[in-house]
């Protein structure tokens, strides 16, 4: 879904047959100016998207972004200024803020995780645990926060998880499937999920594997997996890794840490539209 289609769907959901409050209680000729203000510190994301919401409601509205995506802000700072028809500003307010608050929340969360592993040569990744329809927006907000994107969907990278492996069969059948896949999709990277160190040892013997996902392993197990790997494959740690313990995981020597919490349980930032 394009940004414009998502904006249109969000506006249709909110406006329906018309904004009764503004249409009947605000004079058509009334003009206003307003500012989107931060009530708490955070990281900017989706500024252009919020700007386009106002412009979609009324192309005559003038919008000026005060911060670029990825910029940190403090409480009391202005993120966006708008001016034009008071009716238009009021009709666009909630939809614009819904996008901005949620996506700034994602960027702010990503920045916290990145800062928590400063000094370690590790990449912080998002996951596919995103709001349906918002994946591209949330992954862009992750980038604004300084973290990195994992695969976008099921189509751009292979990840064989525990259920795939259980359905696939034994290692011989898996190797045959890997060889066939390498012939038809040589450009696509393949990752296997490991729940145990035994699986790590087994999968290191396979051809056509580029990455291993080390799922729900303790720091001691992660260190042992890193030693077993000896730099051969790219190693990713995953599974309930919180902000409080991510530095300990980073110190094990894994290449990356994926964190579903960057998108699946983010708190929207406290932002508001203040009329001048």
Active centre residues (catalytic) = 94, 129, 161, 193, 215
CA separation for the pair 66, 256 (Å, rounded): 33
CA separation for the pair 153, 227 (Å, rounded): 30
| Cβ(42)–Cβ(74) below 8 Å | no
| Cβ(194)–Cβ(254) below 8 Å | no
Strands 271-275 and 31-38: antiparallel
What's the Rg (C-alpha) of the chain?
23
Polymer length in residues for the chain: 276
| Cβ(34)–Cβ(90) below 8 Å | no
Q: CB neighbours of 173 closer than 8 A, spacing ≥ 6?
A: none
H or E stretch covering 197: helix 197-203
Q: CB neighbours of 233 closer than 8 A, spacing ≥ 6?
A: 204, 209, 210, 211, 212
Reading phi first (left if > 0) and then psi (alpha if -120 to 50, else beta), residue 215 is in beta
């Amino acid at each position: 879904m394009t940004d414009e289609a998502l904006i249109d769907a969000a506006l249709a959901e909110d406006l329906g047959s018309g904004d009764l409050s503004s249409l009947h209680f605000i004079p058509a000729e009334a003009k206003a100016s307003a500012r989107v203000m931060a009530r708490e510190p955070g990281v900017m994301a989706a500024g252009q998207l919020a700007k386009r919401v106002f412009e979609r409601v009324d192309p005559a509205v003038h919008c000026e972004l005060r911060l670029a995506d990825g910029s940190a802000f403090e409480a009391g700072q202005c993120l966006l200024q708008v001016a034009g028809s008071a009716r238009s500003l009021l009709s666009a307010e909630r939809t614009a803020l819904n996008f901005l608050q949620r996506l700034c929340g994602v960027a702010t969360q990503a920045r916290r995780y990145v800062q928590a592993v400063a000094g370690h040569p590790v990449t912080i990744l998002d996951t596919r645990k995103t709001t349906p329809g918002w994946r591209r927006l949330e992954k862009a907000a992750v980038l604004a926060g300084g973290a990195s994107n994992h695969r976008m969907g099921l189509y751009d990278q292979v990840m064989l998880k525990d259920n795939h492996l259980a359905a696939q069969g034994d290692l011989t059948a898996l190797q045959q499937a890997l060889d066939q896949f390498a012939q038809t999709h040589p450009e696509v990277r393949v990752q296997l999920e490991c729940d145990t160190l035994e699986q790590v040892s087994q999968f290191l013997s396979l051809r056509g594997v580029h990455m291993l996902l080390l799922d729900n392993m303790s720091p001691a197990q992660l260190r042992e997996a890193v030693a077993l790997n000896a730099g051969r494959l790219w190693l990713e740690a995953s599974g309930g890794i919180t902000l409080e313990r991510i530095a300990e995981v980073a110190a094990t020597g894994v290449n990356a840490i994926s964190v579903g919490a960057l998108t699946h349980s983010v708190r929207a930032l406290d932002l508001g539209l203040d009329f001048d």
